[in-house]
Amino acid sequence: MVAFEPKNPDYRAAAMAMFAAQPAMHTLGISIVQLAPGEVELAMPHSAAFTQQNGFVHAGIITAGLDNACGVAAFTLMPREADILTVEFKTTLLAPARGSRFVFRAEVVKAGRTLTFCEARAFAEHGGKTTLIAAMTGTLMAMLPRAAASQAPAAIRA
């Protein structure tokens, strides 16, 4: 893992606030377990409400946890004024999502000015055993405020 230096000295509070502002994560019962510059660990308890026809947690739920883990990890390295948006991800499902608890770990691979590339893994915990169930790569975009139109050159305003 590369040691990253956050652009926002208050990255921890900013990331926690961004995460807390997401009703979807609250609905899924996902919480932040560990947070450091460029990395995060999230956790979610099993809920029968999120299973598919075979009793496994639905792939969409697992993907949502992975996507959010990538987003939080990337956000820890963004400037104070940035917001964040996922622009691309690929998920590979490796085993059925069966367990009592699910963990989503993400880390930044490359942090750019606008785009950040992350990798994440999802694990299922059950009966003292941990199983890798999915992997994701994702690209996230820093949404930075734009200069006011009145500050733009006249040729652009026209």
Q: Is the pTM of this model over 0.95?
A: no
Q: Which two tokens stand for residue 10?
A: 């208050």
pLDDT for the residue 154 = 52
Q: What are 107-120's pLDDT values in tens digits? A: 999 999 999 999 99
For residues 49 and 28, give the distance between their C-alpha atoms in angstroms, rounded to a whole number: 9
Find out whether 93 and 59 touch, Cβ atoms under 8 Å.
yes
pLDDT for the residue 157 = 45
CA dihedral in degrees (2, 6, 9, 14; nearest 10)? -110
